[in-house]
């Protein structure tokens, strides 16, 4: 990962956030989350949550796994409680598609090892780290000062005619498809849900200028479009891979990192409420959980 220049409070916060999320930051032995303690029902759903930091909710209280920076208020935990499901949560900050089938770091086994033939429900949020999203944001922060009114990050990544981020998204598609095939093989009876990423940047493309969001004015719309491309790829792979896609972008529009405290469900580069930089806070995770729960209700099972 390209090292970020510590030129401001926001940049330093992003540097810390990227370091925390890049490889799970082995702080202590990881543990598989314990099953929920809700009352048993006639058939208690066996739910396994897979994914990266947008699923694990780093720094959102209360953190229950310091290696993977996993919160008991992340969307999988909230969905499990709503459904009285037995949750095995192996989501981990920094996870890529490769970490689904191989150990991410010492003490963190391959996430798919949590699946078996008895698994009823699987959620998956992955892909952002495969395209190097935190590195892209770090580059955007560094370039902002040279052209604050322009789109220097877009020029850097797409100025030669080929958009490097679009290419990375295209290359990640087959990796997500492979993960979904492996999920179905290991948990052949499970309902599989691919959960997309929430709205991080203003949907209207109009950016904000502050020390906590140090991006050039013209880069907001480009970054928004890249996220939409990533979500569109995940939706396609879900559709072709026998999974349901859950759109968490739409219900979070209007609550991006440019909104004021209280309206903001995605934190800035220098968070003011407990969450990782440019990640959902507790309200954001709750909204994602609501989107997942609504999709499961529509499916009409369990």
- Residues belonging to the active site: 53, 279
Strand-pair category, 86-89 with 63-65:
unpaired
Task: Report d(CA 38, CA 221) in Å as an integer.
Answer: 43
Pair 185, 246: CB distance under 8 Å: no
Task: Report d(CA 212, CA 258) in Å as an integer.
Answer: 9
Task: Report d(CA 90, CA 238) in Å as an integer.
Answer: 20
**Helices 133-144 and 9-22: crossing angle, nearest 10°?**
160
- Cβ neighbours of residue 269 closer than 8 Å, sequence gap 6 or more: 10, 11, 13, 14, 17, 137, 141, 212, 213, 214, 257, 277, 278
3-state SS assignment for residue 245: strand
């Amino acid at each position: 990962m390209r090292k970020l220049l510590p030129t401001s409070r926001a940049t330093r916060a992003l540097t810390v956030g990227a370091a925390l999320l890049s490889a799970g930051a082995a702080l202590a032995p990881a543990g598989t989350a314990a099953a929920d303690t809700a009352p048993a029902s006639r058939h208690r759903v066996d739910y396994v949550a897979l994914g990266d930091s947008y699923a694990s909710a780093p720094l959102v209280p209360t953190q229950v796994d310091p290696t993977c920076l996993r919160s008991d208020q992340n969307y999988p935990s909230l969905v499990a409680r709503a459904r009285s499901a037995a949750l095995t949560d192996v989501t981990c900050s920094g996870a890529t598609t490769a970490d689904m089938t191989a150990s991410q770091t010492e003490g963190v086994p391959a996430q798919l090892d949590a699946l078996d033939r008895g698994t009823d429900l699987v959620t998956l949020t992955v892909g952002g780290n495969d395209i190097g999203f935190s590195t892209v944001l770090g580059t955007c922060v560094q370039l902002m000062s040279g052209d604050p009114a322009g789109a220097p990050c877009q020029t850097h990544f797409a100025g030669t005619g080929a958009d490097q981020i679009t290419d990375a998204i295209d290359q990640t598609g087959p990796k997500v498809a492979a993960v979904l095939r492996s999920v179905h093989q290991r948990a052949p009876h499970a309902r599989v849900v691919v959960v997309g990423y929430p709205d991080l940047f203003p949907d209207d493309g109009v950016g904000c200028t502050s020390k906590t969001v140090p991006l050039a004015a013209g880069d907001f719309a480009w970054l928004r479009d890249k996220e939409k491309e990533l979500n569109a790829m995940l939706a396609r792979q879900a559709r072709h891979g026998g999974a349901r896609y859950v759109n968490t972008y739409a219900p979070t529009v209007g609550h991006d990192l440019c909104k004021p405290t209280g309206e903001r469900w995605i934190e800035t580069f220098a968070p003011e409420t407990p969450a990782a930089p440019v990640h959902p806070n507790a309200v954001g995770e709750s909204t994602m959980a609501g989107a997942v729960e609504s999709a499961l209700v529509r499916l009409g099972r369990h």
